[in-house]
């Protein structure tokens, strides 16, 4: 069964450093998403991406964040200057289309720890 993959599974970084989280969406999917989940809290939407541009973003997704699809398979989330409060699990998701009941498939997540 096709699945979304994410690397690394765990990233530890110092405050102020840049990190890049990587995702490989399911191959025939067209819509890509990043969500995050701070420990003990709910899953929160960050950004959606379609046709090589951001289609929607949340208030969390400020200028410190950027997304890119550098090639035909990878989808990345960059945090330019990490803060302690960026520590969270980051989930990538993809969906085939954007119809009302179309399932978003989630990757296993990258746990980001900012020290």
Partner 1 sequence: RKEVEQDPGPFNVPEGATVAFNCTYSNSASQSFFWYRQDCRKEPKLLMSVYSSGNEDGRFTAQLNRASQYISLLIRDSKLSDSATYLCVVRGGGRRALTFGSGTRLQVQP
User: What does the binding site for partner 1 look like in residue numbers (CB under 8 A)?
Assistant: 31, 33, 35, 41-45, 48, 55-56, 58, 89, 91, 98, 100-101, 103-104, 106-109, 111
CB of 103 to partner 1, least distance (A): 5
Q: Looking at beta carbons only, is 15 or 43 nearer to partner 1?
A: 43
Q: Looking at beta carbons only, is 14 or 51 nearer to partner 1?
A: 51
Residue 105 tokens read as 């498939």
CB of 54 to partner 1, least distance (A): 11
Q: Looking at beta carbons only, is 14 or 41 nearer to partner 1?
A: 41
């Amino acid at each position: 069964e096709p699945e979304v993959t994410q690397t690394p599974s765990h990233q530890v970084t110092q405050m102020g450093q840049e990190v890049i989280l990587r995702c490989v969406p399911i191959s025939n999917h067209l819509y890509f998403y990043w969500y995050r989940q701070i420990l003990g809290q709910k899953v929160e939407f960050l950004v959606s991406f379609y046709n090589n541009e951001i289609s929607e973003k949340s208030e969390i997704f400020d200028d410190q964040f950027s997304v890119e699809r550098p090639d035909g398979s990878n989808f990345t989330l960059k945090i330019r200057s990490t803060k302690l409060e960026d520590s969270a699990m980051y989930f990538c998701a993809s969906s085939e289309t954007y119809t009302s009941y179309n399932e978003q498939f989630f990757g296993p997540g990258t746990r980001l720890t900012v020290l």
